[in-house]
Chains A and B, each alone.
Chain A
Amino acid sequence: MSKRILIVDDEPNIVVSLEWLMKREGFDTAVAADGEAALAAVARDAPDLVVLDVMLPTMNGFEVCRRIRSEPRWSGIKILILTAKGRDTEVAKGLGLGADAYVTKPFSTKDLVAQIKQMVGAA
Chain B
Amino acid sequence: MLERSVIVLASFSYLGVLFAIARYGDKRAEAGRSIIANPYIYALSLAVYCSTWTFYGSVGRAASSGIGFLPVYLGPTLMVALWWYVWRKVIRISKTYRITSIADFVASRYGKSQALGGLVTVIAVLGIIPYISLQLKAISQSFTILLHHPALVMPAQAAERPFFQDSALYIAMMLAAFTILFGTRHLDATERHEGLVAAIAFESVVKLLAFLAVGAFVTYVVYDGVGDIFARAQHDPRLRGLLTVPPSPASYGTWAFVTVLSMLSIMFLPRQFQISVVENVDEGHLGKAIWLFPLYLLLINLFVLPLALGGLMLFAGRGVDADTFVLTLPMSLNRDGLALFAFLGGLSAGTGMVIVETIALSTMVCNDLVMPVLLRQRWLRLNERRDLSGLLIAIRRLAIAAILILGYIYFRAAGEAYALVAIGLISFAAVAQFAPAILGGIYWKGGTRAGAMSGLVAGFAVWAYTLALPSFAKSGWLPRAFLTDGLFGIALLRPLELFGLTGLDEISHALFWSLLANVALYVGVSLAGRPAVAERNQAALFVDVFLHTHGVDRSRTWRGSASVQELLALTGRFLGPERAHEGFLAYARRRGLPDPRALVADADLVHFAETLLAGAIGSASARVMVASTVQEEPPTLDEVMDILDEASQVRAYSHQLELKSRELLEATAELRAANLRLQELDRMKDDFMSTVTHELRTPLTSIRSFSEILLDNPGIDAAERGRFLAIIVKETQRLSRLINQVLDLSKIEAGSAEWHAAEVDVEDVVREAVDSTSQLFREQGVAVAVSATAGVPAVRADRDRLMQVMINLLSNAVKYCPRGEGYVEVRVAAVADGVRVDVRDNGPGIAREDQETIFEKFRRVGDTVGPRPPGSGLGLPISRRIVEHFGGRLWVDSEPGRGAIFSFVLPLDRGAEPGREEAQAAG
- Residues of chain A having any CB pair with chain B under 8 Å: 10-11, 13-14, 16-18, 20-21, 24, 33-34, 55, 57-60, 84-87, 104-110
Contacts and interface: CB of A to CB of B under 8 A. Distances in A.
A18 B863 CA distance: 22
A13 B862 contact: no
Interface stretch (B91-99, B669-677, B697-705): B697-705
Determine the main DSSP class of B at the interface with A: helix
B70 interface: no
15 contacts: A17-B709, A17-B724, A18-B705, A20-B709, A33-B867, A55-B694, A57-B867, A84-B693, A86-B693, A105-B701, A106-B697, A106-B700, A106-B704, A107-B705, A108-B704
Interface in B691-720: 693-694, 697-698, 700-706, 708-709, 712-713
A14 B690 contact: no
Contact of A85 (B690, B709, B712): B690
A68 B424 CA distance: 120
Nearest to A15: B702
Contacts of B867: 10, 33-34, 57
Contacts of B921: none
A107 B697 CA distance: 10
Contacts of B697: 84, 86, 104-106
Given A84-B693, A85-B690, A110 B708 contact: yes
Given A13-B727, A16-B727, A17-B706, A107 B701 contact: yes
A110 B863 CA distance: 31
Nearest to A107: B701
A109 B865 CA distance: 31
A108 B730 CA distance: 20
Contact of B705 (A10, A17, A60, A87): A17
A15 to B, nearest CB: 10
Nearest to B695: A84
A106 B690 contact: no
Contact of A11 (B702, B713, B862): B702
B236 to A, nearest CB: 130
B789 interface: no
A84 B692 CA distance: 10
Contacts of B727: 13, 16-17
B900 to A, nearest CB: 19
Nearest to A54: B694
B863 A106 contact: no
B712 A110 contact: yes
A84 B709 contact: no
Nearest to B697: A84
Contacts of B898: none
Contacts, number: 75
Given A10-B868, A13-B727, A57-B868, A87 B709 contact: no
B701 A57 contact: no
Most chain B CB atoms below 10 A, which of A10, A17, A34, A59:
A17
B769 to A, nearest CB: 27
A106 B709 CA distance: 13
B700 A57 contact: no
A5 to B, nearest CB: 15
B731 interface: yes
B263 to A, nearest CB: 97
Interface string B845-885: 00000000000000000111111100000000000000000
A85 B705 contact: no
Contacts of B868: 10, 57
A24 B709 CA distance: 10
6 closest Cβ pairs, A-B complex = A84-B697, A17-B705, A105-B701, A106-B701, A13-B702, A106-B704
Contacts of A55: 694, 863
A44 to B, nearest CB: 20
A59 to B, nearest CB: 8
A91 to B, nearest CB: 13
A81 to B, nearest CB: 14
Nearest to A109: B708
Nearest to B716: A20
B862 A57 contact: yes
Contact of A14 (B693, B705, B712): B705
